[in-house]
Structure 1
Amino acid sequence: MKLCFEKLKRIQNIKLNKSRFFAGFIVLYLCKKKMYRFLLKLFKSKKPKEDQDPMKNFLIVGLGNIGEKYEETRHNIGFKILDHFAKKEAFSFETQKLGAIATFKLKGRTLILLKPSTYMNLSGKAVTYWLTKEKVPLENLLVITDDLNLPFGSLRLKTKGSDGGHNGLKDIQDKLNTTKYNRFRFGISDAFSKGRQVDYVLGEWGETEKEQLPERLEKSVELIKSFALAGVNNTMNSFNGK
């Protein structure tokens, strides 16, 4: 606008009235056009972003204990599956409140992946916090855990059930005040002698298990994707016992 006024001032120096008239008309026209564009840009209403449909949000929780010494233990299979998922799809976790968080987009769905930093027996605190924060419906929660009662590498998806003596599941159940939530159980078998359960679950994989684990991790990632895309019932039919 300052430029427009300067042009009008220069017009005053034009001697011929006719020339002055036409020059002034042109300048005013240009100024008006610039003003219109300015006001249009200033008041142009932006279309508000549509909120993400909560039914397309999924919280995938891998249970485990934080710390390098636990990384390769059987009890940390939940962490290991999510780490494999991240490596396969080239995304990374960030340290946030109560855990490490990553987001993965899958055909219109948003998967929020959580590795709680609360230690196993306080996992429920992290789960309830992120369920609420991300507005994830309870039916879109999937908790990944180890299971002594299943053969090594066996996959089983369930929509409800007891904690089975698992401290992580027990705390989640207590915090949610329900046993009706989806859990993905990964078999670690019960190949331990009497009184050695704790040492076994906190022990590292055997050599044979290490050889078979990569294929089982791949299958586990497929199960997670199917849960989000095909639903829990179809996924149970496709993966349970496989």
Structure 2
Amino acid sequence: MSKFLIIGLGNPGAEYAGTRHNAGFDVVEAFAAAHEGSFRTDRLAEVAEVKWKGKIFVCIKPTTYMNLSGKAFKYWMDKEKIPLERTLTVVDDLALPIDKVRIRAGGSDAGHNGLRDIQQILGTTEYPKLRFGIGNQFPKGMQVDFVLGKWFPEEREVIQAKIIKCVEMIEQFAVAGISRVMNDYNKQSFGVVKK
């Protein structure tokens, strides 16, 4: 049975729940729930293991805080003996509009602290990432407040649709491979948010 490691990036704690920076947690929670998995607290992360179509998915939400995500990633990848190309890191992305998601086999951290830490610990940028667009609708100097803020009410419908689509993308990543998922999903849009 092939194993996959699905890493949702976010910050632990109730005050961060439902924030843009926790989009990775939201996607991984939705994926586990769709396959009747439940999270338990374990070393450096909350962990859920699900089986689907003859594959095992080890889903983690690091409890190390965003800036130290690499430690949990490496620990669970080594513990479960999962090769790097069968990992998928789900992360919020300011550079992508809110109606987009994008999956890639590699790519830089683009200034994201969670990805930067993973990159430093792994010594490479070449690991699969699923980027969840959060847009960049914030005044100059307000980036941190925006990223750590909650979704606007008018965005919620788009976000829910994207989370459901990301669950599908994780499944397809495991059964069809990353190239196929890139071709099928990277160009999709999820409805324009009305102002």
SS at match of 1:69: helix
Letter of the 1:192 partner, please give it.
F
Which residue is 1:187 aligned to? 133
- Note if 1:157 corresponds to 2:138: no
Which residue is 1:98 aligned to? 44
Shift of 1:241: 2.6
Shift of 1:183: 0.5
For 1:194-234, what per-residue CA distance to the aligned partner results, in whole angstroms no more than 9, with x for missing partners? 00000000000001111222211110100000001101111
Which residue is 2:16 aligned to? 70
Looking at structure 2, the residues matched to 202 and 215 of structure 1 have their Cα atoms a distance apart, in angstroms, of 21
Percentage of identical aligned residues? 49
Which residue is 2:92 aligned to? 146
Looking at structure 1, the residues matched to 104 and 35 of structure 2 have their Cα atoms a distance apart, in angstroms, of 25
SS at match of 1:192: coil
Aligned residues: 188
- Note if 1:207 corresponds to 2:157: no
Structure number with higher strand proportion: 2
Runs of 5+ unmatched residues, structure 2: 189-195
Runs of 5+ unmatched residues, structure 1: 1-51
Which residue is 1:86 aligned to? 32
Looking at structure 2, the residues matched to 213 and 149 of structure 1 have their Cα atoms a distance apart, in angstroms, of 16
Answer with 1 or 2: which has the greater Rg. 1
Looking at structure 2, the residues matched to 173 and 239 of structure 1 have their Cα atoms a distance apart, in angstroms, of 25
- Note if 1:196 corresponds to 2:142: yes
Letter of the 2:55 partner, please give it.
R
TM-score by length of 2: 0.94
Out of 155, 159, 168, which is 1:222 matched to?
Answer: 168
- Note if 1:233 corresponds to 2:161: no
Shift of 1:89: 2.5
Out of 94, 107, 117, which is 1:171 matched to?
Answer: 117
- Note if 1:132 corresponds to 2:78: yes
Structure number with higher helix proportion: 1
For 1:126-152, what per-residue CA distance to the aligned partner results, in whole angstroms no more than 9, with x for missing partners? 000000000000110100000011110
Looking at structure 2, the residues matched to 90 and 137 of structure 1 have their Cα atoms a distance apart, in angstroms, of 25
Looking at structure 2, the residues matched to 117 and 157 of structure 1 have their Cα atoms a distance apart, in angstroms, of 24
Shift of 1:160: 1.1
Letter of the 1:108 partner, please give it.
G
**C-alpha contact 2:36 2:50 (8 A) present in aligned 1:** no
Letter of the 1:70 partner, please give it.
Y
Structure 1 segments of 4 or more deviating over 3 A?
A: none
SS at match of 1:76: helix
Looking at structure 1, the residues matched to 83 and 26 of structure 2 have their Cα atoms a distance apart, in angstroms, of 25
Shift of 1:87: 2.5
Letter of the 1:225 partner, please give it.
E
Letter of the 1:143 partner, please give it.
T
